[in-house]
């Protein structure tokens, strides 16, 4: 093996069908593709995955969201609501190892693809259903988006500045988090299948992911503590902890997780011995006087630039970081040193780059299928050939509107 070659991922030989849209299911199956699986993305006519049209932001006319979530896949356009289309989807299911879907609750079952029918068709299949609120209870049939479940599950209630409006976490933390749980669940289900020769029906929801991420806060309230207040960038058990203003050029994030670090912070910033802030010598005192302490610390940090504070806090061994914006992240020496953002050839984008999985094996990132996100319907013919459909029948299926082929890209001409 050459030094720049990657070994095949452990999911090589595993076939995954994705009937998904937006973020959660596509992110889950992209992880599986990166780890070696063959992922067949079944999309609807005309628009395909919703995220194909989520632009701007765009990259040479292509949705950045779609580009971020769909590398390493094969796109097939299929109307499985038509009898011939349903027959083809059943054929794909019988030939697959994993099926992942995040359609509206009950949508796939409504057209005949129930969990029981799927199990009967392929007892070894791992069928993964993703929902917003779970499969039982009064909210089970409701569709959901990430920010809605962030609000419902309590995340929004603790996000934002105290006294201001609640705020969502401005990344798809529940969609992508649930996608991570899907990937982990698929590995568990595959191990079970190795032992039993039977598949599994796996159910996950954004609400369950929200509850997992909120477990410290949930346990705190169950233990009799007051409900958490919104702390901006702060943390409930430590002060100072969060973003503090610099003289003129931004913010620095710092943490004094114990009293020794607090003393080193004050020394590094040359706080006089008689300064009021030094009266808060113990973390519990600082937590109880959070607002006053944070204001006093902010007055101190405004006397330094970010670079000056970075130097002083680094020398003192105080945990800290500048609050980088996205251009700064892309240009950062450490970010570039770990090599996670890498180029990938794309037929329409000259300088296309991806963010690889956040893990390495023997020093290598596990990109199992280094292919860019597919054009809508780009692989319909190849997928049908895979399950033994003849060229003549493929042509008839396309003519009748059961199967779609690649559309003209909205990118470069």
What DSSP state is assigned to residue 148?
Answer: H
Q: How far is 256 from 287, CA to CA, in rounded Å?
A: 11
By DSSP bridging, strand 38-43 and strand 73-78 are parallel
The token pair that represents 76 in the structure block: 């097939």
- Which residue reads 């705020």 in tokens? 167
Q: How far is 326 from 328, CA to CA, in rounded Å?
A: 5
Cis bond upstream, residue 403 (ω within 30): no
Neighbours of 204 (CB within 10 A): 24
User: Please, which residues bridge with residue 130 across strands?
Assistant: 204
Q: How far is 75 from 384, CA to CA, in rounded Å?
A: 11
Burial class of residue 166 in the structure, from the number of CB atoms within 10 Å of its CB (0-12 exposed, 13-18 middle, 19+ buried)? middle
Neighbours of 387 (CB within 10 A): 13
Task: Give one DSSP letter per residue of 200-218, joined into a string.
Answer: EEEEEEHHHHHHHHTHHHH
Angle of the 206-213 helix axis to the 173-196 helix axis, nearest 10 = 100
Q: How far is 228 from 90, CA to CA, in rounded Å?
A: 49
Q: Annotated active-site positions, please?
A: 175
φ, ψ at 138 (rounded to 5°): -65, -15
Q: Which long-range contacts (CB under 8 A, 24 or more apart) does 146-150 make?
A: 146/23, 146/172, 146/173, 146/174, 146/175, 146/206, 149/174, 149/206, 149/207, 149/210, 150/174, 150/210
Neighbours of 247 (CB within 10 A): 13
Q: How far is 145 from 295, CA to CA, in rounded Å?
A: 37
Q: How far is 122 from 93, CA to CA, in rounded Å?
A: 7
């Amino acid at each position: 093996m050459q030094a720049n070659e990657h070994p095949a991922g452990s999911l090589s030989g595993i076939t995954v069908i994705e009937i998904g849209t937006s973020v959660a299911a596509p992110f889950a199956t992209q992880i599986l593709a990166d780890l070696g699986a063959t992922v067949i993305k079944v999309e609807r006519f005309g628009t395909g995955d919703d995220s194909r049209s989520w632009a701007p932001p765009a990259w040479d006319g292509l949705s950045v969201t779609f580009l971020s979530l769909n590398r390493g896949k094969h796109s097939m356009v299929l109307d499985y609501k038509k009898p011939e289309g349903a027959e083809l989807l059943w054929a794909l299911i019988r030939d697959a190892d994993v099926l992942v879907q995040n359609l509206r609750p009950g949508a796939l079952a409504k057209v005949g693809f129930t969990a029981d029918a799927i199990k009967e068709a392929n007892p070894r299949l791992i069928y993964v259903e993703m929902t917003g609120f779970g499969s039982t209870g009064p909210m089970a049939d409701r569709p959901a988006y990430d920010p809605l479940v962030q609000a419902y599950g309590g995340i929004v209630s603790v996000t934002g500045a105290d006294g201001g409006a609640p705020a969502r976490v401005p990344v798809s933390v529940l969609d992508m988090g649930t996608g991570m749980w899907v990937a982990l669940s698929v590995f568990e289900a595959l191990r079970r299948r190795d032992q039993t020769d039977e598949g599994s029906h796996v159910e996950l929801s954004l609400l369950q992911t929200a509850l997992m991420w909120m477990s410290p806060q949930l346990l705190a309230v169950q233990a009799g503590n007051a409900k958490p207040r919104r702390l901006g960038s702060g943390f409930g058990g430590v002060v100072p902890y969060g973003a503090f203003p610099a003289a003129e050029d931004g913010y620095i994030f710092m943490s004094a997780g114990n009293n020794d670090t607090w003393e080193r912070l004050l020394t590094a910033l040359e706080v006089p011995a008689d300064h009021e802030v030094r009266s808060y010598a113990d973390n519990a005192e600082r937590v109880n006087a959070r607002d006053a302490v944070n204001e006093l610390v902010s007055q101190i940090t405004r006397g330094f630039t970010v670079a000056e504070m970075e130097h002083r806090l680094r020398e003192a061994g105080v945990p800290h970081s500048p609050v980088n914006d996205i251009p700064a992240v892309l240009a950062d020496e450490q970010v570039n040193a770990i090599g996670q953002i890498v180029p990938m050839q794309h037929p329409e984008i000259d300088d296309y780059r991806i963010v690889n999985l956040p893990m390495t094996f023997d020093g290598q990132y596990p990109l199992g299928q280094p292919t860019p996100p597919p054009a809508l319907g780009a692989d319909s013919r190849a997928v049908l050939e895979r399950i033994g459909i003849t060229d003549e029948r493929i042509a008839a299926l396309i003519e009748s509107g059961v199967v779609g082929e690649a559309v003209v890209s909205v990118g470069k001409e």
